[in-house]
Amino acid sequence: MASSESVTHIGRYEVECLVGEGASAWVYRARDPQIGRTVAIKVLKKQSGVDQDYLDRFQREVQSAGALSHPNIVTIYDFGRADGLPYMTMEFLDEKSLEDLLSSNTILPLKRVISMALQLARALDYAHRRGVIHRDVKPANILLIGESVKLTDFGIARSVGGDDLQRTLAGTVLGTPRYMSPEQVAGYDVDGRSDLFSLGAVLYESLTRRKAFDNDNVARLMLQIMQQSPTPIAAHAPDVPTGVQRIVDKLLSKRPEHRYATGAQLALALERELEAIEIREEEAGRDKFVPLRVKLAASSAGILAALFLLCMSVVYYVESGIVKNQLFDAGTSLAKFVAVHSAVPVLDQDWVPLRLFVQDAQARNSVDYLVVTDHGEKVQASTEPNLIGKPFQLPRRTGLLVANPDVNVSSVELRDGRDIFLFDTPILFHKIEVGRIFLGIDQAGVTHVLHATLWLMALLGLFSTLTVGSLSYLFARFIARPLRALRRALQDLGAGDFDRRISDTRNDEFGALFQTYNSAVEAIQQFVLRSDKCAAPESRDLPPVVAFPVTEDVAAEVTLLVEGARR
């Protein structure tokens, strides 16, 4: 093939420009003239050991990867050869890779990192179930498209992956090996769990801004991958939830059987963590530690208070209706009584007896307001003498409460500011209206009775709420004691004290819980003792035994490192 810069055609594709070059391939942006689609073409460079078998194997892998169709996997369109070099055509995405983002020191939010890992776990699970293993999961092969991600380079990794380590050690670098799994470094056959290890290394770096395995010397780097665990995430990113840290630790387990068996299992664990983060965000501000006794007392008292307020509202509404109905019945009867006994004086226009009756009723406080008018609606007797002889004007009415032919009941406001219930009834003589009676009863008495009832209920509710809250607080303190004992025992167990037992004997559920704890610790202690008896003595001269056999070149490098350490 001509110089990478001077290439104008690859197969039927019209090359527009060179967009990238790695140790093993060139990447071009090109146009498919048949359908007018912009594509990316990756052309493998000429390398030693590339024979017909290699090319045939590469083609089979590309064909397998080309069958993948997943929203988080870059689609492969075509495969071919140009000047004897294999190439594959895939969808063109002019997007940044995760490597670009990490190298720019951009801090990714925790939810973004977990969402990214969740999408990659689903993509890998989809590929693994179809027999395709990526073998080169790394930040450079993860493209960021808004909130989504796409995994690229399926179909190339497996074909070149088997010789990656040897080529790297020989000086032909096909890509950084820092994301390889221990079994891949050792030259073992790999399965989907190898990709999950690589994803764990990517996730570790995204969370901590540090690489899980990092050394300029390739042999030392291989040794790290096979023998050493990365620094705990909490040391670099203490805000990362414990559950997420546990997921990454499991992904980076040296032995495949200790990792998640499938991408689907990993996705399920990530979904739980993402849901927990969303719940914590919703409860932000309510996540401060509050003692159980305070929570229980506050919640029980609050519920009772709310229930009491509801009951008080219902009772107040019902009682208000009953009191007003009784008052309306009494006022209606009194207004009709006055109207009946005022009929003859009004008909004879004998106003003196009526005025004396009104003055006597006012002096006895029998009524708060009373007006008698004639058939011309002129006031002839009134508790307000200044109205006599003037046309009657109804005080400002704030609401009509009862309307019927006999008596209308309204709520009105007098000129002196008092609110009264006004009973308006006609004065009849042989069913002919000869005048009207306007009798008023002050609302202050009804309001006072209702308010007194409301205050009594409020005091009862307050007393009941305080009583229930106090009892709940005491009950929670009673529960908190065994919980504290269990928490301290668990803390001692976490610190390595296998001899600690909970000696508190209780004849309840907590007693059964303590017995279960003691039995579990006893089993753990026996297991640790058996493990110690079976463990081989440690050597102070040799490094830890590697988990996997290594290739001859790596073994030679590691041997030199060990001999240097001895000297």
Catalytic positions are 136
Phi/psi at 431 (5° precision): 65, 15
Residue 142's H or E segment, with its range, is strand 142-145
Q: Which residues contact 161 (CB under 8 A, 6 or more apart)?
A: 135, 136, 184
The two tokens of residue 37 are 């689609």
How far is 203 from 215, CA to CA, in rounded Å?
19
Span between the terminal Cα atoms of the chain, in Å? 51
CB count within 10 Å of CB 524 equals 12
The two tokens of residue 383 are 């508790």
Q: Provide the residue count of the chain.
A: 567
The two tokens of residue 474 are 């005491």
Are 446 and 323 within 8 A, CB to CB? Answer: yes
Q: Which residues contact 437 (CB under 8 A, 6 or more apart)?
A: 335, 338, 339, 342, 370, 371, 372, 423, 424, 425, 426, 427
- Helix, coil or strand: residue 42: strand
Of 239, 162, 252, 244, the C-alpha closest to 199 is 252
Phi/psi at 405 (5° precision): -65, -30
Q: Which residues contact 56 (CB under 8 A, 6 or more apart)?
A: none
How far is 361 from 355, CA to CA, in rounded Å?
10
Alpha helices in 14-162 (DSSP H): 52-66, 98-103, 110-129, 157-161
CB count within 10 Å of CB 115 equals 18
- Helix, coil or strand: residue 535: coil
The two tokens of residue 310 are 């509801």
How far is 225 from 218, CA to CA, in rounded Å?
11
For 492-532, the DSSP string reads: HHHTT-TT-------SSHHHHHHHHHHHHHHHHHHHHHHHH
Of 194, 230, 232, the C-alpha closest to 212 is 230
Of 309, 377, 388, the C-alpha closest to 352 is 388
In 3-state terms the chain splits into helix, strand, coil percentages (rounded to 5) of 50, 15, 30
CA 177 vs. chain centroid, Å, equals: 37
How far is 417 from 69, CA to CA, in rounded Å?
82
* Residue appearing with tokens 């609606």: 377
